[in-house]
Structure 1
Amino acid sequence: MNMQDLPMPADIPIQAAQLAHARQLAQQSGRPLVEVLEAESGLPPDDFVRALGQLMHYPVLTALALHALQPRFDQLGFTEASHWQAVLLASEGPTPWLVMADPFDEVLPHRLQTMVSTPVRWCLAHRNDIAAYLQYHENQMRAMDQMQPETAHAGDEPSPVEALSLKSISEDSSPVVRFVRSTLYDALKAGASDIHLETTLHGLHVKYRIDGVLNEVGGLNGVAQAEQAISRIKVMSELDIAERRIPQDGRCKVHALGREIDLRVSIMPSVIGEDAVLRVLDRKALSEAQGISLEVLGFAPEMLARIRTQAESPYGMLLVTGPTGSGKTTTLYGIISEINTGQDKIITIEDPVEYQLPGVLQIPVNEKKGLTFARGLRSILRHDPDKIMVGEIRDGETAQIAVQSALTGHLVLTTVHANNVFDVISRFTNMGVDAYSFVSAVNAILAQRLIRVICPFCKVDDRPDAALLTKSGLQAADIRRYQFKKGQGCGQCHGTGYKGRKGIAELLQFDDRLRELIVAKAPISQVKALAAESGTRSMREAGLKLVETGETTLQEINRVTSLS
């Protein structure tokens, strides 16, 4: 990063009288002058640090620019950086940046310069942004630095005993165990939904999926240690550590953050070694599960009303579709929680049971023992249910039974993987379900996605360029009503500009005209035209509505939804 890349202070001057008064208060209270001055200025943190840079003639580093640079803890250690609220950052040129929070500490520059052997360029950042930056890198180091090879050097080829020894990867004192444990702990603390361990020619890359996007949190040097880390995951999941040629699936439980958390494990061989993906299935406490409702995903009020209308149907099928991690199961749990009045028998069959719902009979799939979705669903029908939830329809047999259940007076809630509501129709047809039975059973199909929303702590006005507007399919006349916003990046969102996610959805409600078109195998264009006439709005339209109100960005909508 060059000097011109640093945002210069804005014209928000701090008056000399304010500074003099703040000095007097700081002497009386013993508090740091920079904190007293900020309180006296009444400015927001970003404006204050820009005004402070103008006052003290320092360039200012925003949280976004801060997170774009790598720390130089080899020259100014993490402990010293935390103590002095200052951090040394690598730059594109030969001179690194030394970022500090308190320019009034006259001793600080001399002390830091003696610790750093090379010349530096000084700049300012807000103390909260520096603290968040250090916390972020501390989480990374806790996971990565605990894995120190004891006997092998980085890059050494492992011996067969070293790579496959069950003893070496099961003892609590093993550095591999400490590495895996800290990696899992940090991922759970960060709210990751998936943990990716990717083998490379030189070691291991660790990535967390947070808010639906992969973030690399570090790497592990050494082929031997990488293989032992994957083997440790296999041991935890009761998989075969000697088998490296075929995919393996398993699961395990860990106790962290005060509760038991399930991990669904997938091991996949590659030309280099093996990769592991751990899906986090956070089994909430019973008291938390009681609070699940449809509001959790943040659907628009009009969409919530339409979903609730479908959930109140006495019979039929409500299908929820979307990719993995789009909140389908949470939507179904929210529906069940709202319709569970105690007057109906509600039974679910799931793989796995993610939340425990009071008053609901929940059955976990166990394919090793022969309990599949199809077999479990047959047994459920003999248990006098009123409402049934099927975790996922994967095959024709399950689809046939679910449709027949909906036709015989049960309300069936289920999920299926498809890109949109119209693809679900062909999906069931391809699974061998009779079109007439399918349209007679289905009340509605709900397709949904989760999109990231702009971080409220660093939201600012935005003006998208013409290329982005064209790519997004917006016309010049349309954009006048849009309140374009973006996140600058701050400590709260780790420099991403996004914090949290919100649901967008499209709902296709079946009526007689739509059923007739589907049974007659009409072109999909006619089905879409009739659906639009009946009030179906696409997920892209729902997403653009959030862009219009300044809740998310065009880039995020383009990432999640298709223009077509």
Structure 2
Amino acid sequence: IISRIKILSKLDIAEKRLPQDGSFTIRYQNRSIEVRVSVCPTVYGEKLVLRILDKGTSEMNVDKLGFEPDQKKAFLDAANLPHGLIFLTGPTGSGKSTTLNAVLTTIRTPELNFMTLEDPVEYKLAGISQVQVKPAIGLTFAAGLRSFLRQDPDVILVGEVRDNETAEACLKAALTGHLVLSTLHTNEALGAVPRLIDMGMEPFLLASSLALVAAQRLVRILCPYCKVPHIPDPATLQRIIKEGHLNPRDQNSWTFFKAVGCPKCFGTGFMGRRAIYEVYRMTEEMRNIIYKTQDLVELKRAAERSGSLNLRANGWHKVIRGQTTVDEILSITTSDE
């Protein structure tokens, strides 16, 4: 079976000593399904992991991603700036690529030159020049980004900032009049600031070029066919009110549900996923902190004063609408987020 999958993925079936990565596409019910393949040698033989990406169900509408109205406005306002840096953070598989591609689809116009540098190219987008990185032949994120600057782009999407060289190239692009969107692996949105400084960005240059930082997680959505009403205990309710910055006078309009399980959701109680976000536009106060002290605690306080919701608060808003459960939010967020 492994040999057959390696052939489909155009991998070397004779090589069993080194890890290999590849992909192939299948057709299922008139949909294009991309299967990403990772093969790793172990002491017991080769281990193979498949990641399935159903392009037919990819959500390219920012209205359906999970943004709160003010978060969507902040993100799109930043994405329509003529230049600057936008970073979206989150763990692998949290939907960062889907969000950024949906944003590009929303702001795309024929008058602007859009270019992306990805590993791999997950979604084919009309009207956008998309490039697959190939480190084996020297086409890295940094090398590709340097060549992009000679292509007169207006908006550049860089799949991920993995090293100092790529971070420097992103900053240079932003400072020379381009809008750059990219991703980082940090636990929270504002964690992008110290990470980028650690990668060699000068604080005063970062402060002037950073337009927005955001973070996201995916939460499971309750199955509409079997979810049942649920009343949380008083302590949990108070926690939701406090951490969600909610008005207790609005409790009559809140609806809480819990998962049960039925044949339509295969007994899980959940059907589909949506993202929760924290989105921070850079204010003058936040820029001054980045420039002067780079203190993350001060930065968080300044962000809170700006009125933006953090991940957990955004999650509680979905709970009181009956979209997901208390346990789901507690399992993927922490109270200091």
TM-score by length of 2: 0.89
Relative to 1, partners in 2 of residues 1:545 and 1:283: Cα closer, same or farther, differing over 3 Å?
closer
Alignment of 1:178-257 (within 5 A): 229-257=1-29
Deviation for aligned residue 1:240? 3.7
Q: Does 1:393 align with 2:161?
A: yes
Match of 1:546 in 2: 318
Contact 2:223 2:265 in 1 (8 A): yes
Q: Does 1:313 align with 2:313?
A: no
Match of 2:277 in 1: 505
Contact 1:293 1:333 in 2 (8 A): no
Deviation for aligned residue 1:464? 4.0
- The one-letter amino acid of 2:328's match is E
Deviation for aligned residue 1:539? 0.6
Contact 1:317 1:411 in 2 (8 A): yes
Deviation for aligned residue 1:407? 1.0
Contact 2:216 2:278 in 1 (8 A): yes
**Alpha-carbon displacement from aligned partner over 1:216-255 (angstroms, at most 9, x marks no partner):** xxxxxxxxxxxxx233322322334444444322223333
- Aligned pair partner of 1:380 in 140, 148, 159: 148
Please give the alpha-carbon distance, in whole angstroms, between the structure 2 residues aligned to 1:330 and 1:519.
Answer: 32
C-alpha RMSD of matched pairs (Å): 2.6
**Alpha-carbon displacement from aligned partner over 1:41-71 (angstroms, at most 9, x marks no partner):** xxxxxxxxxxxxxxxxxxxxxxxxxxxxxxx
Match of 1:180 in 2: none
Q: What secondary structure does 1:334 align onto?
A: helix
Q: Does 1:491 align with 2:259?
A: no
Relative to 1, partners in 2 of residues 1:268 and 1:470: Cα closer, same or farther, differing over 3 Å?
farther
* Structure with the bigger percentage of strand: 2
- Aligned pair partner of 2:39 in 264, 267, 271: 267
TM-score by length of 1: 0.55
Please give the alpha-carbon distance, in whole angstroms, between the structure 2 residues aligned to 1:451 and 1:363.
Answer: 30
Identical counterparts, % of pairs? 42
Match of 1:35 in 2: none
- The one-letter amino acid of 1:330's match is T
Q: What secondary structure does 1:492 align onto?
A: helix
Deviation for aligned residue 1:313? 1.0
Please give the alpha-carbon distance, in whole angstroms, between the structure 2 residues aligned to 1:232 and 1:560.
Answer: 37
Please give the alpha-carbon distance, in whole angstroms, between the structure 1 residues aligned to 2:314 and 2:278.
Answer: 8
- Aligned pair partner of 1:447 in 206, 211, 215: 215
Q: Does 1:436 align with 2:204?
A: yes
**Alpha-carbon displacement from aligned partner over 1:522-552 (angstroms, at most 9, x marks no partner):** 4321111111011222110000111122211
Higher relative contact order (CA 8 A, sep 6+): 2
Contiguous gaps of at least 5 residues in structure 1: 1-228
Relative to 1, partners in 2 of residues 1:367 and 1:282: Cα closer, same or farther, differing over 3 Å?
farther
Deviation for aligned residue 1:478? 6.3
Contact 1:472 1:554 in 2 (8 A): no
- Aligned pair partner of 2:299 in 495, 502, 527: 527
Out of 298-307 and 448-457, give the one that drifted further: 298-307
- Aligned pair partner of 2:170 in 402, 407, 429: 402
Contiguous gaps of at least 5 residues in structure 2: none
Q: What secondary structure does 2:117 align onto?
A: strand
Q: Is the radius of gyration larger for structure 1 or structure 2?
A: 1
Please give the alpha-carbon distance, in whole angstroms, between the structure 1 residues aligned to 2:120 and 2:238.
Answer: 40
Relative to 1, partners in 2 of residues 1:377 and 1:325: Cα closer, same or farther, differing over 3 Å?
same
